[in-house]
Amino acid sequence: MPYKLRKDGAKLLAKWKLKAGKKHYFHVLLWEDQESFDQNTIDNIPHESSGCINLAPTIIKFSDGNEEEIIKPKLGEVHFIKNKWTMEIVAHELCHALIHRIRMILPSANEIMEQDDDSEEIICYEFGRWAEQIYRSLWEVNPYGKHS
């Protein structure tokens, strides 16, 4: 699902950039409450979803009978809610981001499955960095279990 271009950032607690490969990234956002999360994300169950990923749209350029896929640097957004995120929710949403990353940029799924060169290690280390970075960043802004 594409991400919402214009957001009401009044209740945005934090925003981070999550690197994917050399020049691509996801934005990660932490919202103050369920209402601000619901208002600024797309295709979620209102008052139920605890996290989500909204993907950047793919652009197809047609020229002289050829088609070219244009992948912009921003691959999408990952959203969390204050006092509702857990390690399971972080890992779940980052797994969606990882799958999209593999769809869009190298190494490809086939290269990873066939263990071509260091493709599997590249993905595993990147996912490990993502999980640690986002969990620690969320904890700094909103320590798990601390309700204000």
Q: How far apart are CA 26 and CA 19, in angstroms?
A: 7
pLDDT, residue 98, reads 98
Number of H helices, E strands in the chain: 4, 6
* Count of CA atoms in the C-beta half-sphere (13 A) of 105: 18
What is the overall mean pLDDT for the chain?
A: 95
Would you place residue 77 in the very low, low, confident or very high pLDDT band (cuts 50, 70, 90)?
very high
Residue 61 CB neighbours (<10 A)? 9
Would you place residue 47 in the very low, low, confident or very high pLDDT band (cuts 50, 70, 90)?
very high
Q: What is the pLDDT of residues 92-118, one digit of tens each?
A: 999 999 999 999 999 999 999 999 999
- Does pLDDT of 146 surpass 70? no
pLDDT, residue 144, reads 74
- Does pLDDT of 23 surpass 70? yes
- Does pLDDT of 24 surpass 80? yes
Q: Could you tell me how far CA 110 lies from the centroid of its own chain?
A: 22
- Does pLDDT of 12 surpass 60? yes
Q: How far apart are CA 131 and CA 128, in angstroms?
A: 5
* Residue carrying structure tokens 């295709």: 43
Residue with more model confidence, 127 or 144: 127
Q: What is the pTM of this model?
A: 0.93
Mean pLDDT over 45-55 rounds to 95
